[in-house]
Amino acid sequence: MIGALELREKVIVRLGTWEGMRPGEILALQLGDLDDDSVWVRRRVYKGDIDEPKTKRSARRVALTVGTLALLDQWKLRLLGSPPETWIFGSEKGTPMRRDNIWRKSMYPKLKPVGLEWATFQVMRRTFATLSKAAGVDAHTRSAQMGNTVDVNENEYAVASSEQKLAGVRKLESVVIQ
């Protein structure tokens, strides 16, 4: 997916897939929200309206992976000398980009030819939850990173893989048949 996209969209996808951020949080980031190894979620944008984060838990410090930091550093070079209130992913009008516009104009056309048009923002966020659970990241840490509760993270976002389900039924079978 990353290989099919331009730099701006690569950063956005990384923030959704590797950091578990919501699209409205990503698109509402300003230069002043950046730290050395994290970003602060202080606002969100939804259908062009700038608002407070979705929930109390949504206002948070999001840790960044090394790969995302590297891409973000490349993208920030385009914003050198800009004030802290500059939108990291601003439109030509100086407002935050809209999720549907960036998906329709910049992401979908690049992802469709490689068979990844189904990899929407929701898929990116679920991918973060599922892969970090598989990697052994505990539920509390995953939910804190994503800005939701443990029950939402476990019951809505983290999806069991086919391999995990197969291992589960085989384990059950071996215990019962003993």
pLDDT at 155 over 70: no
Task: Name the DSSP letter for residue 57.
Answer: T
Question: Rounded to a whole number, what is the distance in angstroms from the first to the last CA of the chain?
Answer: 45
- Is the domain spanning 2-177 CATH 1.10.443.10? The answer is yes
- Domain boundary assignment for the chain: 2-177
pLDDT at residue 177 above 70? Answer: yes
Rg for the chain, CA atoms, rounded? 18
The pLDDT of 46-51, averaged and rounded, is 90
- Model confidence at 151: pLDDT above 90: no
User: What percent of the chain has pLDDT above 70?
Assistant: 98
pTM for the predicted model, two decimal places: 0.87
Question: With contact defined as beta carbons under 8 Å apart, do 28 and 154 qualify?
Answer: no
**At CA 32, angle to CA 83 and CA 132, rounded to 5?**
145
For residue 173, pLDDT beyond 90: no
Query: pLDDT-based confidence at 48, cuts 50/70/90?
Result: confident
- Residue 172: predicted pLDDT: 78
